[in-house]
Amino acid sequence: MKVASYIRPLVANLDVYVPGEQPKVKDLIKLNTNENPYPPSPGVISAIRKATDSRLRLYPNPTCEPLRNRLAKYHRCHPEQILVGNGSDEILALVLKAFVEPSAGSVVNKDVIQYFTPSYSLYPVLASIHGCRANPVALGKSFEIPALSQLKRRGWSFSAPLSLITTPNAPSGTAYTTSTLEQLCRKQKGIVLLDEAYGDFAQENAMELALKIPNVLVARTFSKAFSLCFQRIGYCVGDVQLIQALDKIRDSYNVNGLGQIAAEATLDDINYYHKTWKRIIDTREGFTSALRALKFEMAPSQTNFIFAKPPDKPAKQWLQTLKDNKILVRWFPYPETKDYLRITIGTEAQMKSCLKVFKAFLNQ
């Protein structure tokens, strides 16, 4: 029997998600995966070191109870309205499993997720893995959500069992107002997950919608705003019954112990993080102005990255030039994104290096 025959056809035929490169080159300026340039707070570092002892032999808290208690205070809700995941990627995978039927044998139209394009390129991959259909709907020219009256015409369904909305959006960096999101959420007959991975860098966030509209979930991550990519902590907030459904299908010990401790300590040091967000936003605004002066085109960002259309030459050529100068940024090979570079906002010094390369390339 051939080994390939053991594998489900659905899995054998999958196109996989390609995360940004994580190379181990020295002196590389890494602006390709939206990591925070600043370290976690000293309190977080010391909390982890202090917890690194014989307790590692024990299972971590299976329900992340202490962390959920703190998050509940932070968001002024009940701990039962919160589920913690192994990064928000796990939350996204769980949401499909809980609310969307796989297409095989499904009741009509219960087997679809929908999302706007461009947005998080993981969504279609999650649909393929789950074996459901994907309904991508194009954003407007400035990456705005089309008017409610136009959405249906563009193929958006108000009865899809699950809609995934990245807000602020990635890779465009653009924000949606809470009132726009609220109107949309109230019209949807299925679950809407607002994926706020970058919410802390924005002027407003939509957490209140998860607390007042029963079909809305908000997902957050400690990776970006809280400099904790390494330890995989994401969570989502919403109606108790929805959270219970997600809780049933997660692994029993899905969140590692030192990650839980780091996340708890993070919430004790929230002022430290507010300062890093302000620095990143200041750097972003300065970098945006400098790029505009060089004739780069971009929509205003409310995240820790910008999505910029470089002048004169194809974006892919700019990508290569940066790479030759040991600067890594992200480029997505889709029709709606191929003219842009997604550049993470690093430190002031890193963005100056980036600008220097751009200027030299323009003057060639």
Site map (CB under 8 A) of a second copy, residues 71-110, x = contact: ---------------xx-xx--x---xxxxxxxxxx----
Site map (CB under 8 A) of a second copy, residues 186-225, x = contact: ---xxx----------------------xx-------x--
Smallest distance, a second copy to C-beta of residue 311, A = 31
Q: By CB under 8 A, is residue 54 in contact with a second copy? A: yes
Distance (Å, rounded) from C-alpha 167 to C-alpha 178?
10
Q: 344 near 32, Cβ under 8 Å?
A: yes
Using the minimum distance from each CB to a second copy, give the nearer residue, 247 or 339: 247
**Interface positions, 138-167, toward a second copy (CB under 8 A):** 161
> Following DSSP, what letter does each residue of 304-326 receive, concatenated?
SEEEEE-SSS-HHHHHHHHHHTT
| Phi (first) and psi of residue 88, to 5 degrees | -75, -15
Smallest distance, a second copy to C-beta of residue 64, A = 12
Using the minimum distance from each CB to a second copy, give the nearer residue, 86 or 174: 86
Query: b/e map of 55-92 (b: 16 or more CB within 10 Å)?
Result: eeeeebbebbeebbebbbeebebebebbbbbbbbbbbb
**Interface positions, 278-317, toward a second copy (CB under 8 A):** none
**Interface positions, 260-279, toward a second copy (CB under 8 A):** 262
Using the minimum distance from each CB to a second copy, give the nearer residue, 30 or 284: 30
Q: By CB under 8 A, is residue 48 in contact with a second copy? A: yes
Q: Nearest-5° angle of CA 347, CA 349, CA 350? A: 65
Q: 238 near 218, Cβ under 8 Å?
A: yes
Name which of 104, 95, 132, 137 is nearest 119 in CA terms. Answer: 137
Find the binder of a second copy among 29, 31, 36, 79 (CB under 8 A).
Answer: 36
Computed on alpha carbons and rounded to an integer, the radius of gyration of the chain in Å comes to 21
Residues near a second copy (CB under 8 A), total: 84
**Interface positions, 243-262, toward a second copy (CB under 8 A):** 245, 247-249, 251-259, 262
